[in-house]
Structure 1
């Protein structure tokens, strides 16, 4: 019996699936319109907004007709799991909750943060890891540049914040040495992201490498000054001060470094 479950993804290439079979969505314009409607599921997206995401500030004279064509094709390919209706001045998409990966991601991240606030660190790690597994590469990798510019930054920020939260939970579980290699790579990829730098300092210190941890701070301070003309954030400075004032790596905790209410 064919699996009738439908799944729609934007955390990677924009794709539609029925069970293990991918439903073809031909062309970046059609995928762009589908993703734009998914992001605003349950709300009308105007022709004007769709035109901006499809063609930028110079839509063709036939824009309305082309948008109508894309909507018709999407209806044929995705019904009955997806309903796309015309509501002046645009289109409305309705989809069953749980079929879109971004909805599942945001839900699992909320559960993870809830567990983290309650000190249930193993549970929070499970939720964060589950959320991060929903990603299949760079978000929106096969749509127009206009939609990428509009949506990818916030999606990428959400992914990095979730990754950082997962690392926080694992640090609280005492997995410092296991994390060092991963966080070194993250600091290399995102040298101006102070959260990863702070986490690397904590992991290194607990691993008995305090001088290396202090060096990570000094390098971050230099990069922030050269690239952005700013000083390290209070969070990063608090980690540095905790390292300087702590007699033993064993007494350094997330609370020591981040302070009450800082994450």
Structure 2
């Protein structure tokens, strides 16, 4: 790759780089490379390189810089600077300019990601990011260079965010925690990296650290910008608080089946009890002629329940619902009233 802008501007191979002397010469070349294949008007070159107050001889200086660059590139096949009525253009094979190679790799990676080929997409993103070898255009001092360098750095950070998103989808939570920790320290206001770090910590089984990380960035955003975290970061935090339950094991399913069987048996017993109590309620609602209905075993059991503060065992309940035995007559009295009170207290339980 002959032209590298994703770091200090260099031309030629690492073994034999061309000597691009002079800041203005580097600035004109960088501007033409960023706009490779397009015509850059003379006025745009002047403003981008010399600023708002260029010297009177600025057009001549531009022509001198272009002639110098043509002399440097005359031995490089496929590289040409053309003159147009409005300005100049530089043509070079796309594979010779690192910015264009970066864009091609990212475009292919995004296509693979959309097709769920996550490993292949991540590999292309890594290859693209490896093209960066320092702050873009850090050795070019010109009005346009600082903004152009920031834009190129933003493209790197965007792809880094996409790469870590793929790594998380591939389950590599623990592996990326150290790098994400460095990135949030370098770019503390970039929420994408914070969100990935929260998710990575959670996926690595470090839930407490993930919660602390969210509150850290929340405080930071409020103190620095007066803002709350964005929607995606908040969603990651909510997912953290609402962990999915572990899928039931075989033992859990067996315990659940046993519980259901017990509930079915209890339901049947309650239905039997309800029928007995309905019959008992009808007998208690009979005529008050000074005589009560025949004594039944259910009457004896319920009296025992009242005497023992209604702390009956299952055997007592089963005895209670058995068919009544022999009947005898007794006069009405306080015991009948007491039995009615017990019946009233248990009616809500059985749905009477």
TM-score over 0.5 for the pair: yes
The reply to whether residue 20 of structure 1 matches residue 15 of structure 2 is yes
Partner of 2:274: none
| Whole-angstrom CA distance in 1 between matches of 2:49 and 2:14 | 29
167, 173, 178: which one pairs with 1:176? 173
| Residue matched to 2:37 | 42
Alignment of 1:206-245 (within 5 A): 206-245=203-242
CA deviation string 1:11-58 (max 9, x = no partner): 011111157310111111111101100111121111211112212211
Question: What are the residue-to-residue correspondences of 1:54-69 with 2, within 5 Å?
Answer: 54-69=49-64
What secondary structure is seen at the aligned counterpart in 2 of 1:23?
Answer: coil
- Tell me, in whole angstroms, the C-alpha distance in 1 between the residues paired with 2:47 and 2:133: 26
Residue 88 of structure 2 aligns to a residue whose secondary structure is: strand
Match of 2:156 among 151, 155, 159: 159
Does the CA contact (< 8 Å) of 1:206 and 1:249 recur in 2? no
d(CA) in 1 for partners of 2:217 and 2:157? 18
Stretches of structure 2 lacking an aligned partner (at least 5 in a row): 248-352
Q: CA RMSD in A?
A: 1.7
- Residues 59-78 of structure 1 show CA distances to partners (whole Å, capped at 9, x for unaligned) of 11111111101100100101
d(CA) in 1 for partners of 2:188, 2:129: 21
SS at match of 1:91: strand
Quick check: 1:112–1:125 contact (8 Å CA) kept in 2? yes
Higher-RCO chain (CA-CA 8 Å, sequence separation at least 6): 1
Q: 1:249, CA displacement in angstroms?
A: 9.5
Distance 1:107 1:236 in 2: 30
Compare 98-107 and 84-93 and name the one that shifted more. Answer: 84-93
> 2-side partners of 1:55 and 1:230: how far apart?
39
Is the aligned partner of 1:141 residue 2:138?
Answer: yes
Distance (whole Å) between structure 1 residues aligned to residue 150 and residue 138 of structure 2: 13
Residue 24 (structure 2) pairs with residue 29 (structure 1): yes
Alignment pair present for 1:116 and 2:135: no
**Between Structure 1 and Structure 2, whose CA radius of gyration is higher?**
2
Distance in 1 (CA, whole Å) between partners of 2:246 and 2:124 is 29
1:188 to 176, 185, 189: 185
**Secondary structure of 2:11's match?**
strand
Encode CA deviations 1:133-168: one digit per residue, 9 max, x unaligned: 111100001112412233112211110011111111
Structure 1, unmatched stretches of 5+, are 1-5, 251-263
| C-alpha distance 83-215 of structure 1, shift in aligned 2 (>3 A) | same
